[in-house]
Structure 1
């Protein structure tokens, strides 16, 4: 937890990074909290450049947000990581403590849970996950907290299927594997989490049934996705990538500044305005 006395710095690191909304969200939170001495920037840093960047940080730094490809690369540079981060071997938040320690956490997982809770999704009997990349493992970790039954994951390759089974065993989730060709069957689940890149699920939109359950599409640009638009048209609840981004950023701001609660509304408004201006 950082002291609020004197200028304090934070930033998001990744490569590429120009698209990141994190500066917009964090700065909106600082303004809302009256933290005039705080600044938040973005830096294009890849895995090779990460140790040098860390070596150049001074005592004004309070924390870092990390995006791809740094979420696993940062772990050896830290003094410790939370159980949440360890559960998926991925860190998206680093806090520099007053004692000089570098502590890693993962706010994506509780951010997913909070985004779903905000839309009234507290518990489900089963769920489906589209995709099997890094975000899918975080989705499984979130579902381990809210899904009472099996999670069916729709994947393209045997290697990805084995990875998802492994994550399921590690996280205590009953993971069942299905082929991507059958992905439209996912829509019968009360909760569907789409973790795939932009455009991947567009062809599935026509298969959305009448009165579907809840869709959590982790993308925020372009928004709405073709699938999210079709889902909403048929009366289903939709949680989007901006919802996730805001809730995980709220937790980051709380950890870095020591201030709580951090209001999400101003952050969401700032994020929506920034996306509309693109």
Structure 2
């Protein structure tokens, strides 16, 4: 049995046939794909325990992510460490999603570790202890954290409602773009690392685990974000909607478009200062987007 590259739990690897990659089924990190060259890169980097915890946490929030050498080197290895309070909120949110209804209890599972971005059991216990002391979670039964059943208290549900409406301290940058393989490299090589370089955490709905309708998840994630990066290449209606919704909430939107699609850009968007890019200048786009985010919002909290 092989071990996970990030949490070291025993996992199953499945070959993806013609693809130069394998699919990992991890009880803690969830499911992800990783290329063979990325595996070599990850091993040779000798990741710290904190880096492993951050990547594990990001993967469990972004199920089915495809790890390659580009996105590993550009932003996975530099992921931010959430604050202690943010770790507690993340774990509380996970428990809520696993709970069928208010008043129900759930058993401990290994994903508690990743959802709280904990390096080890001691850190996880501290997060759980805080949730108990703040009367947000009630732990019942057993002597150890992994033996307990967990129930969110009324105070915990109220707190979740409050944080879902407040993005003032959010470190998330929502990415609205065409879900197409032809521009997948744009996200991996430019947008995600640019957001990370500016001190924020990139999020795209098709890379996240959720059970709701995708439109509902998009709205929820935009509400939780500090800003939106919208790329209009391909002129998808969903991108126009997401950018418009973000503007309606008063969020900052950063506008992008590939040069050969600029002529078809909707007239309402042309009034904004759009960053134009092409396939040969992704590094330039990365630097320009980072600079613009920092000039408008200042540097974020991930470094």
Structure 2 length-normalised TM: 0.27
Q: Which structure has the greater CA radius of gyration?
A: 2
- More contact order relative to length (CA 8 Å, sep ≥ 6): 1
More helix by percentage: 2
TM (normalized to structure 1)? 0.29
